[in-house]
């Protein structure tokens, strides 16, 4: 049997974030686990928080025997991902570069729409730039698609983003996959806690069925179609994480836990697991407000949940309609009341800069926060990611080059966005909320600078009046409002390997600067 090649998997840094030592990238660790199961030796390089990651990568390229490099990237990580691609090309010109993750998937989805409309626009240009930088693009679910990318004659695009594709994960396939290869990350370097319990992230299900205008992947089956695991399978992963690593805190990073019809069953199973183990868990996760009810809340508290997060987005009925949220202001208020009634704290995830946004609608958001009194909140300025309706359905401004216009057809309200080269720019993302925001969108009522000022006002005013301190060191604050993208974390070892004999490939983080 021929020797299988070493595969190097790379997580780019997220230099736009305050703290990267929080959540590891579970998507690429699932790919790593599948490769390991198939017998491939795997190297994982996690450059989260590494300032001189190009130097670290150069050193690795000069010692590794690997000639296959797989990079995962969200849209905000793309400037770093492009630098990584160029660095590998300089050191190993014949290496195969594979790009996967949300950005490639979302860009390809937007590209398909442009092709159907018989027009070449920004998504087409962006896709071409990715094809120039990488040898293979993996679109959608990567767990089985990675093997197509490893073929001797791989296609330029491996499309696993269709329900008709044999590479698309079904419920059964998701159930049968190995758990993420967390052993390839230095877990002990992570410092996330929930109510004093050392915590780690877990993804129990895939996909969100809703069609919010600002959220990525609304036309992408791999991000839109719900895929679930059985309650027993999820509970077994929790058991493993507790028995192997000692975790008693778990952050469920599913889009919306309560779209799972078996959620109460899952909560009851988690309660039983704690009794079997003789311990207590503390849990945190996302719920959809209009689906939330007392039965769910009671079961979640019993299972150990103490924090819920919900993308309420706005306190303005007009904006909730314009973003196609499917939840009313009253339903959002009711969800907060239910949570508090059952002892659950609520973090309200709010956003501004939607079509029709004005000073009036932003102040309605401020007033709603003051009314319902969440335990924590954040306010994000919208970015028009590829793969979102705000991006995919926008048309070029008739007279101003570099300006795109999205129109919500039912109301006629508009959102204007500046053209952004996502391969080079990332300062539109959350960054430092204390004066670090930059808006690349505006409306008929608020320009980009005014959006930043009114966002900063709401942040200060609500925190002051509700007595919620802003702690820039809070480990979760920069990750929880991802608009369809995912967060990651930082290990203290840049590189971990599986089945690789070359000890020189082990890199100590002390040699490199952390952010």
Residue 221 belongs to a domain: yes
pLDDT digits (tens), the chain, 515 positions: 678 999 999 999 876 655 555 677 899 999 999 999 999 999 999 887 788 899 999 999 999 999 999 999 999 899 999 999 999 999 999 999 999 999 999 999 999 999 988 877 899 999 999 999 999 999 999 999 999 999 999 999 999 999 999 999 999 999 999 999 999 987 887 778 899 999 999 999 999 988 888 888 888 889 889 999 999 999 999 999 999 999 999 999 888 999 999 999 999 999 999 999 999 999 999 999 999 999 999 999 999 999 999 999 999 999 999 999 999 999 999 999 999 999 999 999 999 999 999 999 999 999 999 999 999 999 989 989 888 999 999 999 999 999 999 999 999 999 999 998 888 877 655 544 455 668 999 999 999 999 999 999 999 999 999 999 876 544 334 445 555 564 332 222 445 666 654 333 333 344 555 55
pLDDT at 482: 56
Task: Using DSSP, state whether 508 is helix, strand or coil.
Answer: strand
CATH code assigned at 159 = 3.40.50.280
Residue 479 belongs to a domain: no
Residue 354 belongs to a domain: yes
pLDDT at 491: 27
CATH code assigned at 313 = 3.80.30.20
Range of the domain at 291: 193-466
Residue 484 belongs to a domain: no
pLDDT at 1: 61
pLDDT at 473: 44
Burial class, 172, CB count within 10 angstroms (exposed 0-12 / middle 13-18 / buried 19+): exposed
The Cα–Cα gap between 433 and 68 comes to 38
The Cα–Cα gap between 405 and 344 comes to 40
Helix axes 231-245, 263-277, angle to 10 degrees: 30
Residue 268 belongs to a domain: yes
My answer on whether 80 and 15 are in the same domain is yes
Residue 161 belongs to a domain: yes
My answer on whether 150 and 60 are in the same domain is yes
My answer on whether 225 and 155 are in the same domain is no
- Residue among 243, 248, 285 at smallest CA distance from 263: 285
- Residue among 302, 368, 385 at smallest CA distance from 334: 368
Residue 145 belongs to a domain: yes
My answer on whether 164 and 230 are in the same domain is no
My answer on whether 127 and 17 are in the same domain is yes
pLDDT at 309: 95
My answer on whether 126 and 201 are in the same domain is no
pLDDT at 320: 97
My answer on whether 175 and 294 are in the same domain is no
pTM score: 0.90
My answer on whether 160 and 251 are in the same domain is no
pLDDT at 487: 37
| Number of domains composing the chain | 2
My answer on whether 114 and 33 are in the same domain is yes
My answer on whether 155 and 287 are in the same domain is no
Residue 511 belongs to a domain: no
Strand order in the sheet with 249-252: 193-194, 197-202, 249-252, 282-286, 305-313, 345-352, 376-381
Cβ–Cβ < 8 Å for 205, 56 = no
My answer on whether 224 and 335 are in the same domain is yes
My answer on whether 158 and 256 are in the same domain is no
Helix axes 78-91, 122-133, angle to 10 degrees: 30
């Amino acid at each position: 049997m021929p020797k299988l090649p070493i595969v190097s998997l790379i997580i780019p840094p997220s230099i736009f974030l305050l703290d990267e030592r929080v959540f590891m990238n579970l998507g690429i660790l699932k790919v790593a686990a599948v490769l390991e199961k198939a017998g491939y030796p795997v190297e994982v390089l996690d450059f989260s928080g590494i300032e001189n990651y190009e130097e670290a990568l150069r050193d690795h390229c000069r010692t590794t025997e690997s000639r296959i490099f797989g990079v995962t990237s969200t849209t905000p990580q793309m400037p770093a991902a492009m630098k990584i691609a160029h660095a590998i090309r300089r050191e190993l010109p014949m290496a195969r570069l594979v790009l996967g993750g949300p950005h490639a998937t979302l860009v390809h989805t937007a590209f398909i729409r442009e092709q159907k409309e018989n027009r070449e626009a920004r998504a087409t240009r962006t896709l071409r730039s990715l094809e120039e930088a990488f040898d293979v693009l993996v679109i959608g679910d990567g767990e089985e698609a990675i093997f197509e990318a490893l073929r001797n004659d791989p296609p330029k695009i491996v499309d696993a983003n269709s329900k008709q594709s044999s590479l698309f994960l079904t419920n059964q396939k998701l159930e049968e996959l190995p758990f993420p290869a967390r052993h390839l990350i230095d877990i002990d370097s992570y410092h996330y806690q929930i109510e004093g319990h050392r915590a780690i992230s877990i993804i129990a299900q895939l996909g969100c069925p809703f069609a919010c205008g600002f959220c990525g992947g609304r036309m992408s089956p791999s991000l839109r179609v719900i895929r679930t695991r059985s309650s027993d399978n999820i509970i077994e992963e929790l058991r493993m994480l507790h028995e192997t690593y000692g975790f008693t805190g778990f952050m469920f990073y599913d889009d919306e836990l309560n779209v799972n019809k078996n959620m109460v069953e899952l909560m009851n199973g988690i309660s039983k697991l704690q009794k079997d183990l003789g311990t207590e868990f503390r849990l945190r996760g996302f719920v959809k407000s209009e689906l939330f009810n007392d039965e769910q809340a009671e079961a979640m508290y019993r299972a150990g949940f103490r924090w819920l997060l919900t993308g309420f987005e706005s306190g303005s009925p007009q904006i909730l309609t314009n973003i196609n949220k499917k939840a009313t202001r009253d339903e959002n208020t009711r969800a907060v009341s239910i949570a508090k009634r059952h002892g659950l704290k609520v973090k309200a995830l709010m956003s501004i800069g939607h079509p029709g946004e004005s000073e009036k609608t932003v102040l309605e958001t401020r007033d709603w926060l003051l009314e319902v009194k969440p335990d924590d909140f954040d306010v994000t300025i919208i970015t028009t990611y590829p793969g979102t309706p705000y991006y995919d359905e926008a048309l070029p401004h008739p007279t101003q080059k570099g300006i795109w216009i999205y129109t919500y057809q039912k109301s006629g309200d508009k959102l204007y966005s500046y053209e952004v080269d996502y391969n080079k720019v990332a300062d539109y993302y959350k960054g430092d909320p204390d004066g670090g925001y930059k808006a690349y969108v505006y409306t008929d009522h608020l320009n980009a600078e005014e959006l930043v000022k009114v966002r900063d006002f709401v942040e200060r005013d609500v925190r002051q009046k509700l007595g919620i301190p802003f702690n820039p060191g809070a480990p979760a604050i920069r990750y929880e409002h991802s608009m369809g993208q995912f967060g990651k974390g930082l290990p203290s070892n840049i590189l971990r390997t599986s089945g690789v004999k070359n000890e020189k490939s082990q890199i100590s983080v002390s040699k490199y600067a952390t952010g």
